Structure 1
Amino acid sequence: MFDSDALAQAMQRSRGHAAVIMGPRGLIDLAQSGSAKAMLPRVTSGLPEVVFLNTSGGLASGDRLGFSLDLRAGTRAQATTQTAERAYRAKGSPAHAEVSVTVGTGGWLDWLPQETILFDGARLERHTRVDLQGDAGCMILETVMLGRLACGEQLRHLHLRDRREVRRDGQVIHHDALALDDGVLERRANPALLGEARVMATLAIIAPHAPDLLHSARAELNEPGVIGAASAPPGRLVLRLLARDDWPLRRQLNRLLDRLRPDPLPRIWQI
């Protein structure tokens, strides 16, 4: 007979943290542990790139993953992830992901991670925090996919708490939170919620010139299969996109990023 106590042993959990410090002349320091890694591809044009990755293959119950990036004064860069992050079914405590960024005076960061795919039963809590100093600015993107359409996946159980917070000199200037659970999934067909959408994205530019980009952003929101809207509160431009499939949404995002930023996309992003 099997010993039920032995079968109930604790499962192994993934832990990882990668930290990068960059200055105007390039890399200053790089530290990485566990499942989190960071790479700096050699680029010949555009912004220097930082590519973060999670070697565990995804996030499950109790996993912890952290990425941090410190751009010193006058440093401009773009950061992304090597591939889509995956949040798998979790019976116990949620997985936790933390992204922490500091951008020094005169600096700029484009934070352009690949999408996050949520599987049925996923439990994920994520916090992205960007600290801007002085006149620094940033662009931040987050894309969430509710299962994979091509695989016919349907989500019935979910726990997602996703926060994006931007501070300037310690004061909150942008806060965006998304919460999804079983109750929302039951009502998701409501037009006031997701309708038929399975993929959603939020793109925000935080800078004094951001509202000036509103007309250009709205002119680009014409990809078939994508519903999009843009608004321009003081010092910000915020776009929200919904689509049934990730492919048209990716095309829409690529066109928006080409229109709204002067630099080439990260090589890993290009279609």
Structure 2
Amino acid sequence: MSTLLAAPARITAEPDGRGGTALPLLAGAGPIALRRTRGEGGAAHVVVIGSMAAPLGGDRLAVRAEVLPGAALLVTSAAATISLPGPGPAYYEVDLTVGEGARLDWLPEPVVAAAGSHLVLHTRITLAPGARLRYREEQVLGRRHDWARLRDPGRLTSRLTVRRAGRLLLDQQTDLGPGAPGWDGPAVLGGNRAAGQLLTVGTGPQPAAPPTAGTALLALPGGGATLLAAVAPDALALRRALDAG
């Protein structure tokens, strides 16, 4: 049965006045549970945990995170997010806001599209002047046993919109998997089954060149912002490519 959420999972991070970061709001919703764990360097660390199988086709899930000026937040996940088939696409929205002088490291595990599923993702990121960001996104088409049984993978339709100081920094959309035009051709995945990117804004020195084959490094407008994109045959090779950047 579909999970229709009236409210998203929410995270708010703010300075605690002692050189660290407090979490005045940490609220899960539906199948999304949030747990605070030990942070480092003054940053709070939140782990996203799937408390039940989700997203299923027809689900609508959402996460909102706000990092107030001067705070620092690291968000990871306990496991991959697996999109499962159901009556129609599932929808997952992520809204991230980073205040002036704040930092957000958004580093979840991959999203995996199981055979027969269709997940529509939309991530919106709003950065104040002086905000710092490290955002990793990894998408994998099909589980290992899907390919072993020669089953088509699921489909992932993803949009990433980033604004900095009120101006558009990045707006891109990808559509991968059966039903998406040319998704497995040489101009898109080229026979690979995993794609991802690492967006960095204001985090210090940037790499000068793509570190490995199958990657591309883009300098974004305004300075101090880069996008490292990669394709790979599997999730492990994709993580290695992004980590090298």
Which range, TM-score by smaller chain? 0.7 to 0.9
4+ residue runs over 6 A deviation: none
Structure 1 counterpart of 2:50: 54
1:163 & 1:148 partners in 2: Cα distance?
Answer: 22
Q: Which amino acid aligns with 1:13?
A: T
Q: How many residues align?
A: 236
Contact kept, 8 Å, 1:18 with 1:66, in 2: the verdict is: yes
Of 160, 163, 167, 1:164 maps to 160
Q: Which has the larger radius of gyration?
A: 1
**Would you tell me which structure has more helix in proportion to its own residues?**
1
TM-score (norm 1): 0.78
Structure 2 counterpart of 1:241: 230
- 1:116–1:110 CA distance, 2 compared to 1 (3 A): same
Q: Which amino acid aligns with 2:14?
A: G
> In the alignment, is residue 27 of structure 1 matched against residue 23 of structure 2?
yes
Structure 2 counterpart of 1:197: 192
Deviations, residues 5-62 of structure 1 (Å, cap 9, x unaligned): xxxxxx3536473211111221122222322211110134573211122212221121
Contact kept, 8 Å, 1:214 with 1:232, in 2: the verdict is: no
SS at the partner of 1:182?
A: coil
SS at the partner of 1:60?
A: coil
Of 205, 214, 220, 2:207 maps to 214
Gapped regions of structure 2 (runs ≥ 5): 17-21
Identity, in percent, stands at: 29
Contact kept, 8 Å, 2:2 with 2:56, in 1: the verdict is: no
- 1:117–1:158 CA distance, 2 compared to 1 (3 A): closer
Contact kept, 8 Å, 2:141 with 2:154, in 1: the verdict is: no
> In the alignment, is residue 116 of structure 1 matched against residue 106 of structure 2?
no
1:62 & 1:245 partners in 2: Cα distance?
Answer: 27
1:80 & 1:190 partners in 2: Cα distance?
Answer: 32
2:177 & 2:237 partners in 1: Cα distance?
Answer: 26
- 1:46–1:84 CA distance, 2 compared to 1 (3 A): farther
> In the alignment, is residue 227 of structure 1 matched against residue 214 of structure 2?
yes
- 1:12–1:95 CA distance, 2 compared to 1 (3 A): closer
Q: Which amino acid aligns with 1:233?
A: L
Gapped regions of structure 1 (runs ≥ 5): 1-10, 257-271
Q: Which amino acid aligns with 2:55?
A: L
Q: Which amino acid aligns with 1:251?
A: R
- Cα RMSD for the two superposed structures: 2.4
Structure 2 counterpart of 1:144: 139
Q: Which amino acid aligns with 1:138?
A: L
- 1:155–1:174 CA distance, 2 compared to 1 (3 A): farther
Q: Which amino acid aligns with 2:232?
A: A
1:179 & 1:248 partners in 2: Cα distance?
Answer: 21
- 1:153–1:13 CA distance, 2 compared to 1 (3 A): farther
